[in-house]
A and B are shown apart, each in its own frame.
Chain A
Amino acid sequence: EAGVTQFPSHSVIEKGQTVTLRCDPISGHDNLYWYRRVMGKEIKFLLHFVKESKQDESGMPNNRFLAERTGGTYSTLKVQPAELEDSGVYFCASSPASQGNIQYFGAGTRLSVL
């Protein structure tokens, strides 16, 4: 069974540009989460999808961040326009409907905004 996959593994962009991160959850997992870890800090929750619906987006830092999960399968996280403080590692996780707390993480996308 394939795990949570994220693409790209690393992205380097300039301030003001747009970047889109993709997450493919484990097949059949209804719950999908985005997290972010900035340098030296803890992993912070961004938002949670149940299928295609946003269940909790309380962690989204501002309106430059847009997450979608059309069709309830893969998800994208777009940052537009990117700022220097957006640099960090963006993790995606998924969990089945029956065990929502048991989250399986992807390897993350390292975003560097220059």
Chain B
Amino acid sequence: QKEVEQNSGPLSVPEGAIASLNCTYSDRGSQSFFWYRQYSGKSPELIMFIYSNGDKEDGRFTAQLNKASQYVSLLIRDSQPSDSATYLCAVNTGGFKTIFGAGTRLFVKA
């Protein structure tokens, strides 16, 4: 079992729709959870982080965490073609070592 699992996609949504990206993790001791966006050939860019159960909103992005289910998700409202990228879920189990999922490719169709 992978430590951080994501559906590789591609996930295709029409412009203006809500994109829902999901991630599960195996280590119950995980403490910090991150979503990175990576455009092709570019560096991963941190877009959201969440530490506590529940929802955290930042603009069009909402991160959701459920530690009991070991599940974290990212919702992108009003999806734009510029949101098309690979989204990486990452988990920190303590210290600063970060475990990444393989990423989900998102396509937003104009």
Residues of A within 8 A of B (CB): 3-4, 31, 33, 35, 40-45, 48, 55-56, 58-59, 91, 95, 100-108
Contacts and interface: CB of A to CB of B under 8 A. Distances in A.
B95 A56 contact: yes
Contacts of A45: 97-99
Contacts of B98: 33, 45, 101, 103
Interface residues of B, number: 23
B43 interface: yes
A111 to B, nearest CB: 15
Nearest to B102: A42
B44 A43 contact: yes
B97 A42 contact: no
A80 to B, nearest CB: 25
B4 interface: yes
A104 B96 CA distance: 13
A44 B100 CA distance: 7
Contact of A58 (B34, B97, B100): B97
